[in-house]
Amino acid sequence: MQNILILLQEHKIQPTPQRIATTQAVLDAGSHPSADEVWERVKTDHPTVSRATVYNTLNLLVEKGVLKTQIIKEGKVVFDPCVEPHHHFIDEESDEIHDIPWDALKVKGEDSLKDFEVREYQVVLRGRRKKK
Amino acid sequence: MQNILILLQEHKIQPTPQRIATTQAVLDAGSHPSADEVWERVKTDHPTVSRATVYNTLNLLVEKGVLKTQIIKEGKVVFDPCVEPHHHFIDEESDEIHDIPWDALKVKGEDSLKDFEVREYQVVLRGRRKKK
DNA sequence: TTTAACTTTAGACATAGTATAAATTGACAT
DNA sequence: ATGTCAATTTATACTATGTCTAAAGTTAAA
């Protein structure tokens, strides 16, 4: 995609085939992939790309503000292409993570916490996704 | 402590020296220790207790409802003696986790999430703890 | 006291992630 | 085009968290 190239340039990331493939993969992955999940995806099209490069690239993308990390799943960091504030619902059956729009929930009282200077917050919900 | 013994018995956990020491350690640790932090504590008084036993015991305590795990810190599971619903504040400087009482924050809208059956939720806040 | 169930132990294994050093690539001034 | 320096990629080693296994040790209870 041409879009990926532009995206990288906009964030002052020198585009390389490996970085383009990794960025493509993390964006295509949809639901909050882990680094190794991204690596698996990258390898299908670019089998020679090393694990270290995928890790490096993902960390770079986070540093440059293209992605955000979420610490929600046990033992894994997952990457979220949505860098704007929002909440998360974890389906305990499928282990899938779903974004909840910021406006769907309203939190009151966070600025009454005397001892704490809150930089960001989110609601983390767990349960089952309803089948239709 | 005699209390620990009673606590274990109340939760149908067969008390052993190792389990008593581990339970003591996780309760004394205060702020959300990781398994290896608990192991370090146990070893000061009981140097022969194995890592596996501490892990086994902590998992057992979770299973029996004495502790709850929290997935908040990168790469670690931490244990929380407070099993009642509450929120968490993570001090990004010290990496310390602080409990926020349930009533300090009010979340609205969580039962309007059409597609999700929420079993539990919490607000996770990050920032800096104010110095007095 | 013998048996069966439970518990502990050491160590192997699995997985996620970082660090390092050598090789490769790329940018670009000459 | 060429040489050079910086950036990038790679393979591999390493660390850390956590689980699993099989053997040894305990405990309870017939």
pLDDT in tens, B100-118: 999 999 999 988 899 999 9
State pLDDT tens for residues B47-86. Answer: 999 999 999 999 999 999 999 999 999 889 999 999 999 9
pLDDT for residue A112: 86
In this predicted structure, the answer to whether residue A16 has a pLDDT above a threshold of 80 is yes
Chain A to chain B, count of Cβ pairs less than 8 Å apart? Answer: 117
* pLDDT above 70 as % of chain B: 98
- Taking domain A2-80, whether its CATH number is 1.10.10.10 is answered by yes
Judging by DSSP bridges, how do beta strands A87-91 and B87-91 pair with one another? Answer: unpaired
A16 touches strand C (CB under 7 A): yes
CB-based contact A116 B128, cutoff 8 Å = yes
* Chain A residues whose beta carbon lies within 8 Å of the beta carbon of residue B117: 127-130
CB-based contact, A101 to chain B, within 8 Å = no
Instruction: Name the pLDDT band for A2 (thresholds 50, 70, 90).
Output: low
Average pLDDT value over all residues in chain A = 94
Domain coordinates in residue numbering, chain B: 2-80, 87-127
Q: Which is higher by pLDDT, A132 or A47? A: A47
CB-based contact B119 A126, cutoff 8 Å = yes
